Chains A and B, each alone.
Chain A
Amino acid sequence: MARNSMTLAKEPLWKSILRDRWLYVLLLPGLLYFIIYKYLPMFGLIMSFQDYKPMFGVLKSPWVGFKHFERFFSDPSFFMLFRNTLIIAFYNLILYFPFTIILALLLNEVTHMKYKRVVQTVTYMPHFFSWVVIASLTYKLLSTEVGMVNGILELMGYEPVNFLTSAQWFRPIIVFQGIWRDLGWGSIIFLSAIAAIDIQMYEVAIVEGANRMQRLWYVTLPSIKGTIITILILRLGRFLDLGFEQIYVQLNAMNREVGEIFDTYIYTMGVVGGQYSYNVAVGMFKSIIGIILVIGANTLAHKLGEEGVY
Chain B
Amino acid sequence: MKKSLRIMSLSLCLAFLLSLGTACSSETEPSSTADPSSGNTSAGETSVSEESSGEPTPISMYLVFDGVEYPAPGNDIQKIIEEYTNTQLEISAYGNYGDLYPTMLASGDFPDVMTTLDLPITKDAVRSGMFWDIMPYLDSTNNLKDYHPTTLENSTVDGKLIGIPKVRPLVRRTFVYRKDWADQLGLSVPTNVEEFYQFLKAYATSDLDGNGQQDTYGLIADKTVINHMCFLFGAPNVWEIKDGQAIRNFTTPEYLEGLKFMKKLVDEKILHPEWSTVSRNQFYNVFEDGTGGVMWDSTNAIQMLGARVEAKDANASVDAFTLLTDTKGQQRTMGEAGHLGWLSIPSVVPEEKVGKIVEFFDKTADEEMASLLVWGVEGQHYNVENGNAVPIDEAAQNYEDTIRYPYKLPFSAVNYEDYARPGIYNKYQQRALDIDREMLEYMVPNPIFPLDSQTYFEMGKTLDQIIEDASIKFVSGALDEAGFLAEVERWRTTGGDKVAQEYMDSYNAIHGGK
A59 CB to closest chain B CB (Å) equals: 11
The segment from A84-92, A215-223, A282-290 found at the interface with B is A282-290
Residues of B within 8 A of A38 (CB): 5
**Least Cβ distance of A286 to chain B in Å?**
5
- Tell me, yes or no, whether B12 is within 8 Å of chain A by CB: yes
Q: Is the CB of B1 within 8 A of A284?
A: yes
B3 touches A263 (CB 8 A): yes
Cβ–Cβ < 8 Å partners of B494 in chain A = 76
Contact with B along A268-295 (1 / 0, CB 8 A): 1111111110111001101100100000
| Across-interface contacts of A40 in B (CB, < 8 A) | 12
- Contact of A238 with B by CB under 8 A: yes
Interface presence of B384 (CB below 8 A): no
Query: CB within 8 Å of B: which of A243-268?
Result: 244, 252-254, 256-257, 263, 266-268
Cβ proximity bits B105-119 to A, threshold 8 Å, 1 near / 0 not? 111100000000001
Query: Does B276 contact A274, Cβ atoms closer than 8 Å?
Result: no
Which residues on the B side are within 8 Å of A266 (C-beta)?
Answer: 3-4
If A274-B105, A275-B457 are given as contacts, then 9 extra A-B residue pairs at C-beta distance below 8 Å, sorted by A number, are A41-B9, A53-B125, A241-B3, A253-B471, A272-B98, A273-B119, A275-B458, A280-B8, A283-B5
B residues less than 8 Å from A274 (CB atoms): 102, 105, 119-121, 124
* Interface residues as binary, B373-385 with A (CB distance below 8 Å gives 1, 0 otherwise): 0000000000000
Report if A273-B277 is in contact (Cβ < 8 Å); known contacts: A40-B12, A241-B1, A290-B1: no
Q: Does the CB pair A55–B476 fall under 8 Å?
A: no
Complex: how many Å from CA A280 to CA B11? Answer: 13
The reply to whether the CB of A298 lies closer than 8 angstroms to some CB of chain B is no
Residues of A contacting B461 in the complex (Cβ-Cβ under 8 angstroms): 268-269, 272-273
Least Cβ–Cβ distance between A47 and chain B, in angstroms: 9
Question: What residues of chain A have their CB less than 8 Å away from a CB belonging to chain B?
Answer: 36-38, 40-41, 44, 52-57, 71, 75-77, 143-145, 164-165, 238, 241, 244, 252-254, 256-257, 263, 266-276, 278-280, 283-284, 286-287, 290
Residue of A nearest to B217 (CB): A145
By a CB distance below 8 angstroms, the chain B residues around A268 are 461
From A275, A279, A287, A290, residue with most partner B Cβ within 10 Å: A275
Q: List 13 A-B contacts (CB under 8 A).
A: A36-B9, A41-B9, A44-B8, A52-B106, A54-B106, A54-B107, A55-B36, A75-B462, A77-B462, A271-B99, A273-B457, A283-B5, A287-B1
In the complex, residue of chain A having the shortest beta-carbon distance to the beta carbon of B460: A273
Q: From residue B314, how far is it (CB to closest CB) to chain A in Å?
A: 26
Given A271-B102, A273-B460, is A253 in contact with B8 using a C-beta cutoff of 8 Å? no
Cβ B462 vs Cβ A76 within 8 A? yes
**B128 A56 Cβ-Cβ under 8 A:** yes
Interface residues of B in 92-141 (CB under 8 A from A): 98-99, 102, 105-108, 119-121, 124-125, 128-130
- Contact of A41 with B12 in the complex, beta carbons under 8 Å: yes
Q: Within 8 Å CB of A56, what residues of B? A: 128
B125 contacts A254, C-beta separation under 8 Å: no
What is the bound-complex CA distance between A29 and B219, given in angstroms?
59
Contact between A252 and B276, CB atoms less than 8 A apart: yes
1/0 contact string of B337-355 vs chain A (CB within 8 Å) = 0000000000000000000
Contacts of B121 in A (CB 8 A): 273-275
Partner among A36, A238, A280 whose Cβ is within 8 Å of the Cβ of B4: A280
- Decide: B277 and A55 in contact? CB cutoff 8 A: no
* A19 CB to nearest chain B CB (Å): 35
Given contact pairs A41-B9, A254-B473, A55 touches B276 in the complex (Cβ within 8 A): no
Judge if B153 is at the interface, Cβ distance under 8 Å: no
B484 to chain A minimum Cβ distance, whole angstroms, is 13
User: Chain B at the A interface: mostly helix, strand, loop or mixed?
Assistant: helix
Chain B, 435-465, contact with A by CB distance < 8 Å: what is the 0/1 string? Answer: 0000000000000000000000110111001
Per-position binary interface string of chain B over residues 253-278, scored 1 when its CB falls under 8 Å from any chain A CB and 0 otherwise: 00000000000000000000110110
The interface residues of chain A lying within 8 Å CB-to-CB of B124 are 53, 274
| A56 to B125 CA separation, bound complex (whole angstroms) | 10
Give every chain A residue within 8 A of B5 (Cβ-Cβ): 37-38, 41, 283
> Residue B414 at the A interface, CB < 8 A?
no
Does B468 make an interface contact (CB < 8 A)? yes
A94-B171 Cα distance, complex, nearest whole Å: 53
A270 / chain B contacts, CB cutoff of 8 Å:
4
* Complex alpha-carbon distance, A269 and B465, angstroms: 12
Q: Which of B12, B457, B465 contacts A256 (CB 8 A)?
A: B465
Give the residue of A37, A144, A164, A254 whose beta carbon is less than 8 angstroms from that of B9.
A37
Contact among A75, A165, A283 for B3, CB-based, below 8 A: A283
Q: How far is the CB of A48 from chain B (nearest CB, A)?
A: 10
Q: Considering the complex of A and B, which 10 residue pairs feature the smallest CB-CB distances, nearest first?
A: A274-B121, A287-B1, A283-B4, A253-B472, A55-B128, A253-B469, A41-B8, A54-B106, A274-B102, A44-B8
- Asked whether B223 is an interface residue with its Cβ less than 8 Å from the other chain, the reply is yes
Q: CA of A114 to CA of B473 in the docked complex: distance in angstroms?
A: 52
- Please, which residue of chain A has its CB at the minimum distance from the CB of B459? A75
What residues on A are CB-neighbors of B460 within 8 Å? 273
Known: A241-B1, A266-B3. A165 touches B125 (CB 8 A): no
Contacts of B273 in A (CB 8 A): 144-145
B478 contacts partner chain A, Cβ-Cβ < 8 Å: yes
Q: Does B511 contact A (CB under 8 A)?
A: no
Most buried by A among B1, B120, B277, B461: B1
Interface assignment of B7: CB less than 8 Å from any CB of chain A: yes
| Shortest Cβ gap from A253 to chain B (Å) | 4
Query: 0/1 per residue, B27-62, Cβ < 8 Å to A?
Result: 000000000100000000000000000000000000
A3 to B178, CA, bound (A): 81
On whether the beta carbons of B473 and A253 are closer than 8 Å, the reply is yes
With A40-B12, A275-B458 given, is the CB distance from A144 to B274 under 8 Å? yes
Assess whether B276 is in contact with A145, with CB atoms less than 8 Å apart: no
Closest residue on chain B to residue A77 by CB atoms: B462
Minimum CB–CB distance for B86 against chain A, Å: 32
Contact partners of A165 in chain B: CB under 8 A: 276-277, 476
- Asked whether, in the complex, the Cβ of A253 is within 8 Å of the Cβ of B128, the reply is no
Q: How far is the CB of A2 from chain B (nearest CB, A)?
A: 29
A273–B129 CA distance with the chains assembled, in angstroms: 19
Smallest CB separation, A196 vs chain B (Å):
29
B514 CB within 8 Å of chain A: no
The reply to whether the CB of B2 lies closer than 8 angstroms to some CB of chain A is: yes
B224: shortest Cβ distance to chain A, in Å? 12
| With A54-B107, A290-B1: A254-B102 Cβ-Cβ less than 8 Å | no
List the B side residues contacting A77 at CB < 8 Å: 462
Contact, CB under 8 Å: B3 / A244: yes
Give chain A residues whose Cβ lies under 8 Å from the Cβ of B12.
40-41
Alpha-carbon gap, A295 to B7, bound state (A): 26
- With both chains docked as a complex, state the minimum distance between the C-beta of B467 and any C-beta of chain A, in angstroms: 10
